[in-house]
Amino acid sequence: MACGVRYSAGFEEFPDGHRFTNEWAPVDMAPRRAVVLLPPFGEEMNKSRRTVAIAARRFASRGFAVYTFDPAGTGDSEGEFGDATWAHWTADANFAIARAAEKFPCPLTLWALRAGALLLPALDRPADHLLLWHPVTSGDAHLTQLLRLKVAADAFAGIEGTTTKGLRAQLASGQTLEIAGYELNPDLVLPMAAVNLQHWQTPPRATNWLETGPDPAGAPSPASLRIAEAWATRGTSVDLQHVVGEQFWLTQEIAENTAIAEASATALEAVPA
């Protein structure tokens, strides 16, 4: 049964500065569980905000509390993106989870969207449930995609000789790269590139893994299936499904995907208390 939703937003003091946070919570009832979002990387975060808000409100209307945060140097939080490091983002995620546990003392779901999933192996507090939205599973592959944007931009501008190998060498030497309007700090993207979820040894006991796309005949990727099989050998039950809908983090204009929000709310309701 749907219930009323209380929404609040503002700045909270994290160990390394103020971070902008959002909360959605059910009205007049104790939350069934807390859901903490691990956000995507760069422009994908901005493109995702509308669908995240739609989903968070839907979750709260079903009795779940949702807590989101902008890591250091992103959104309205303190700091510059080019100064952010993987250590900053890991610390922010750990603090956000601890803060959510204080506000909502109930079971925990970690909701990881795209590259937010790469933070999972570094988190201090285990969760009994994981909600994945089209997760990035290889940080190295994700970095390669980012570097290809720079290669393409330079080629379009008539700058010859830019390669992903050369750009990686610049990062390895400590240089910051500007790509698609973002300054990529080596201390942010190189540790990120070292993460591969196939090797994560302690995934939660239950995972809902949702991938989305416009094709009704779509299916989870072979890479996702391989990771789900690897996690199963470690005692994790993975419900992997394809949801028909817009890949909102990629669209030129802001897009919505209510189908993945509804499928996720249904999945949360089925998680044992």
Is residue 125 over pLDDT 70? yes
The answer to whether residues 85 and 13 belong to one domain is yes
Helix runs in the chain, H state only = 43-61, 86-103, 139-156, 164-172, 186-193, 222-232, 258-269
Percent of the chain scored above 90 by pLDDT? 96
Domain hosting residue 181, numbered range: 139-194
pLDDT in tens, 38-89: 999 999 999 999 999 999 999 999 999 999 999 999 999 999 999 999 999 9
The answer to whether residues 133 and 149 belong to one domain is no
Lowest-pLDDT range of 60-64, 123-127, 171-175: 123-127
Check residue 168 and give its pLDDT.
Answer: 97
The answer to whether residues 67 and 78 belong to one domain is yes
| Of the residues 152, 169, 194, the one at which a domain ends | 194
How much is the average pLDDT of 137-162?
Answer: 95
The answer to whether residues 27 and 82 belong to one domain is yes
**25 Cβ contact partners less than 8 Å away, ≥ 6 residues apart:** 5, 6, 31, 60, 65, 66, 104
Is the CA virtual torsion 228, 225, 267, 103 positive or negative? Answer: positive
How much is the average pLDDT of 153-168?
Answer: 94
Whole-number Å distance between alpha carbons of 100 and 110? 11
The answer to whether residues 184 and 66 belong to one domain is no
Check residue 1 and give its pLDDT.
Answer: 60
Is residue 259 over pLDDT 80? yes
| Of the residues 147, 172, 194, the one at which a domain ends | 194
CATH number at residue 211: 3.40.50.1820
The answer to whether residues 226 and 255 belong to one domain is yes
Check residue 2 and give its pLDDT.
Answer: 78
The answer to whether residues 128 and 148 belong to one domain is no
Check residue 273 and give its pLDDT.
Answer: 73
Q: Taking each helix axis from N to C terminus, what angle separates 186-193 and 86-103, rounded to the nearest 10 degrees?
A: 80
Is residue 93 over pLDDT 70? yes
The answer to whether residues 24 and 104 belong to one domain is yes
Question: Coil, strand, or helix at residue 187?
Answer: helix
Percent of the chain scored above 70 by pLDDT? 100
How much is the average pLDDT of 82-110?
Answer: 97
Whole-number Å distance between alpha carbons of 14 and 165? 37
The answer to whether residues 38 and 122 belong to one domain is yes
Q: For the chain, what is the domain count?
A: 2
Which region, left, alpha or beta, applies to residue 271 given φ > 0 means left and ψ of -120 to 50 means alpha? beta
Whole-number Å distance between alpha carbons of 247 and 230? 26
The answer to whether residues 120 and 61 belong to one domain is yes
Whole-number Å distance between alpha carbons of 149 and 269? 39
**19 Cβ contact partners less than 8 Å away, ≥ 6 residues apart:** 11, 12, 69, 70, 71, 72, 77, 78, 92, 96
pLDDT in tens, 181-228: 999 999 999 999 999 999 999 999 999 999 999 999 999 999 999 999
Q: What Cα–Cα distance (Å) separates residue 1 from each residue in 26, 58, 64, 208? A: 11, 12, 12, 22
The answer to whether residues 116 and 53 belong to one domain is yes
The answer to whether residues 186 and 211 belong to one domain is no
For 272, the token pair is 């044992």
Length of the chain: 273
